[in-house]
């Protein structure tokens, strides 16, 4: 009987380690208005599945565009910037929705912008930190 409890503990322990070994999930909520993201910074775990809840409290369409690691958009947002998009989604004025994406696996601070012409120039920018 001495060996059975030890084996049971080892099997249960291995299952617990496997269940907790992944990157997990992260949740962030952001409101968009003319011309800001609130909050202006968020943090997610590297490689986690991110649930992003967006609300467009503005009177015009907005989008949430996460740029690649180390890349900073220069205005105006153009095709060169489009090639460096990590994730993006759009919302019509007054809408709310939830989106999912996998967070970058590389630690750093990532730029978030609204790529609609004139919005970044008006200050619609935020950051996403991956510790």
pLDDT of 23: 75
Class of the domain covering 23-130: mainly beta
pLDDT, residue 16, reads 34
Query: Which pLDDT band, with edges at 50, 70 and 90, does 37 fall under?
Result: very high
Instruction: Tell whether the model's pLDDT for residue 96 goes beyond 60.
Output: yes
Q: What is the pTM of this model?
A: 0.82
CA distances from 80 to 10, 15, 49, 73, 115 (A): 53, 46, 27, 9, 12
Q: Is the pLDDT of residue 31 over 90?
A: yes
Could you tell me the residue ranges of all domains in the chain?
23-130
pLDDT exceeds cutoff 60 at 119: yes
Q: What is the pLDDT of residues 51-85, one digit of tens each?
A: 999 999 999 999 999 999 999 999 999 999 999 99
Across the strands, what pairs with 128?
42, 110
Residue in 50, 53, 29 with CA at minimum distance from that of residue 41: 29
């Amino acid at each position: 009987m001495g060996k059975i409890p030890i084996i049971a503990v080892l099997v249960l322990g291995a299952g617990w380690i496997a269940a907790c070994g992944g990157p997990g999930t992260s949740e962030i909520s952001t409101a968009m208005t003319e011309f800001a993201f609130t909050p202006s910074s968020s943090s997610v775990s590297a490689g986690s599945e991110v649930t992003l809840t967006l609300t467009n409290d503005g009177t015009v369409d907005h989008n949430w565009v996460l740029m690649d690691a180390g890349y900073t958009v220069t205005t105006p947002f153009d095709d060169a910037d489009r090639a460096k998009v990590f994730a993006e989604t759009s919302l019509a004025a007054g809408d709310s929705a939830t989106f999912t994406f996998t967070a970058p696996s590389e630690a750093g601070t990532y730029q978030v912008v609204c790529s609609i012409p004139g919005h970044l120039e008006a200050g619609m920018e935020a950051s996403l930190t991956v510790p």
